[in-house]
Chains A and B, each alone.
Chain A
């Protein structure tokens, strides 16, 4: 694209915004490496005088069970919702039937609803089937309400596979499931990575379902972190260390697979 501004101004602006964007990370890291004696309002921006891990061990002590809850919740939810989204997306893009477009829209709309509008019945039902305050209850909820987005992402992905490939496989006698297993799944490894990363990040970071469906002992890490941050007695170097611990899994995923994360972001943008 032709030039709009001179290069040096552009670099200046980009570096300026980069610093702003990195500022919260700076504060999180700097504060969490300080000891309690060292944190104060006035020296917030100063580097720690020495690297001190006490706030991390303190935070880890508090959050370890919750981190474990989050793993137990996010991993199965991600795997199950990927599988369901994939088969749905395959069916709705490669084997269209009468009304399949409407069914897609019907499912897709579920992605936009504010979850507040289903929470009251949801809790009743989850309680009735004995899954209230359990990790399986949370998994069930994430799988169900992940259906629209995973279906959308896989559908958008499969639309790019030419229909002619399906047709020639059909001529060779392959049916719905055979084509899915032997052709679609191998072709959609990237799709699984993209959707998996997207779902894992969202489920790990999710807060509303987590706080409403689970009680204290089953809280995922985000709820525990919010409790830690809301408490008046917990020092803020510990809160910051807790925030880093809670963010580490998704940040690692982003650092190593950022490309796929961005792909997921684009794939999830609605194309009817």
Chain B
């Protein structure tokens, strides 16, 4: 059986070579991520089903009681509404404005790098700093209102409690809370640079011939843009939407600094509710339930996206 032994030796040596070392090198990270991401999520899930709503841990099982309470509360219903409208308009604004500015910058513009840097500058700022600045700019008694008043406008910005159209759904008025617009402006201001950079890279990657051909057909310029160029940018658009969606579903620091929950919770968000109820109110089980809902909402979009990306490779 000498051949077998040789083979065994060889495989033992091979075990410590290359790909196996690679596995051993990654192993600590796998271990750490397993615990700090996956086990912790399970732990939070367990807390969300428990009765731990005071300082002292009480992990007795209460089923979906915390979730039931959340969904029947005025505050959480408001949060869901705010999040839906915030996410939709935020993504629309970031994608739309970023694409628009990217296309303009593609037109052989002098000083392109300067414009690009101006639009990307806010990306390097903290949401907290953004919140401080915009809170003053959109203060109803100051800031941009000093200009708008000259034209007879005087929006209440984040102090406005109107909901448009304000259909009565469960305990809340459903619609776009006008107060959210102030937060949206600040958030879009900060994140547009991201989609702009992505689209600039995408446009640069489209072969010149395709761009030329698009306009050769004699088609209307805008039509050519929408029919030929835009489809080429589809993968980028999907990527931007996904990444911006997870920013908006998690949004915390900007709102917390700029407006807080707002009057009647018009600018409240699940992340703020989670933070306050858990770490200021000691309602751990309630906070854990909010966290689990946030996680599920994000994973519904992220997991299919990642799976699709994997398939394409």
| Residues of A in contact with B (beta carbons under 8 Å apart) | 1-5, 7, 10-11, 13-14, 17-18, 20-25, 27-28, 31, 41-42, 44-45, 84, 87-88, 91-92, 94-97, 100-101, 103, 105-110, 112-122, 144-145, 147-148, 151, 170, 175-177, 201, 204-205, 207-208, 211-212, 222, 225-226, 229-230, 236, 239-240, 242-243, 246-247, 250-251, 253-254, 258, 261-262, 265-266, 269-272
- Whether A114 lies near B133 (C-beta < 8 A) is no
**Complex CA–CA separation, A151 to B29 (angstroms):** 10
Contact (A27, B107) CB under 8 Å given A116-B291, A147-B32, A251-B124:
no
Contact (A212, B279) CB under 8 Å given A147-B33, A226-B257:
yes
B residues in contact with A250, CB < 8 Å? 124-126
- Whether B310 lies near A229 (C-beta < 8 A) is no
- Whether A21 lies near B189 (C-beta < 8 A) is yes
* Distance between B98 CB and nearest chain A CB, rounded to angstroms: 11
- Whether A44 lies near B128 (C-beta < 8 A) is no
Contact stretch, chosen from B72-80, B170-178, B193-201? B193-201
- Whether A4 lies near B107 (C-beta < 8 A) is yes
Residue in chain A with minimal CB distance to B257 = A226
B residues in contact with A87, CB < 8 Å? 25
**Complex CA–CA separation, A141 to B131 (angstroms):** 25
- Whether A106 lies near B30 (C-beta < 8 A) is yes
- Whether A205 lies near B127 (C-beta < 8 A) is yes
A residues in contact with B119, CB < 8 Å? 17-18, 21
**Complex CA–CA separation, A229 to B126 (angstroms):** 14
- Whether A113 lies near B37 (C-beta < 8 A) is yes
Contact (A24, B37) CB under 8 Å given A1-B211, A176-B22:
no
- Extra contacts, 8 of them, besides A23-B137, A262-B197 (Cβ < 8 A), are A31-B136, A115-B250, A118-B40, A119-B278, A119-B291, A177-B21, A207-B253, A236-B136
A residues in contact with B303, CB < 8 Å? 109
Please report whether the interface of chain A is mostly helix, strand, loop or mixed according to DSSP.
helix
What are 15 A-B pairs with beta-carbon distances under 8 A? Answer: A3-B221, A4-B221, A11-B109, A25-B133, A92-B22, A95-B19, A105-B306, A108-B306, A110-B33, A117-B292, A121-B43, A121-B44, A212-B275, A226-B257, A240-B133
Contact (A225, B132) CB under 8 Å given A120-B278, A176-B25:
yes
0/1 interface trace, chain B 20-34, chain A, CB 8 Å (1 if under): 111101100110110
- Whether A207 lies near B104 (C-beta < 8 A) is no
- Whether A114 lies near B310 (C-beta < 8 A) is no
* Distance between B86 CB and nearest chain A CB, rounded to angstroms: 15
- Whether A122 lies near B139 (C-beta < 8 A) is no
B residues in contact with A84, CB < 8 Å? 29
Residue in chain B with minimal CB distance to A112 = B302
A residues in contact with B294, CB < 8 Å? 114, 116-117
**Complex CA–CA separation, A24 to B187 (angstroms):** 13
B residues in contact with A176, CB < 8 Å? 17-18, 21-22, 25
Contact (A112, B107) CB under 8 Å given A117-B292, A119-B291, A147-B33:
no
- Whether B118 lies near A18 (C-beta < 8 A) is yes
* Distance between A73 CB and nearest chain B CB, rounded to angstroms: 14
B134: Cβ under 8 A from any A Cβ: yes
Chain B positions 257-311 with a Cβ under 8 Å from a chain A Cβ: 257, 271, 274-275, 278-279, 284, 287-288, 290-292, 294-295, 298-299, 302-303, 305-306, 309-310
* Distance between A103 CB and nearest chain B CB, rounded to angstroms: 6
A residues in contact with B225, CB < 8 Å? 4
- Whether A2 lies near B189 (C-beta < 8 A) is no
A residues in contact with B62, CB < 8 Å? none
Contact (A10, B104) CB under 8 Å given A84-B29, A120-B288, A212-B279:
yes
B153: Cβ under 8 A from any A Cβ: no
- Whether B18 lies near A95 (C-beta < 8 A) is yes
* Distance between A203 CB and nearest chain B CB, rounded to angstroms: 11
A residues in contact with B32, CB < 8 Å? 144, 147
A175 partner, pick from B17, B124, B274, B278, beta carbons under 8 A: B17
Contact (A144, B36) CB under 8 Å given A119-B291, A120-B44:
yes
B92: Cβ under 8 A from any A Cβ: no
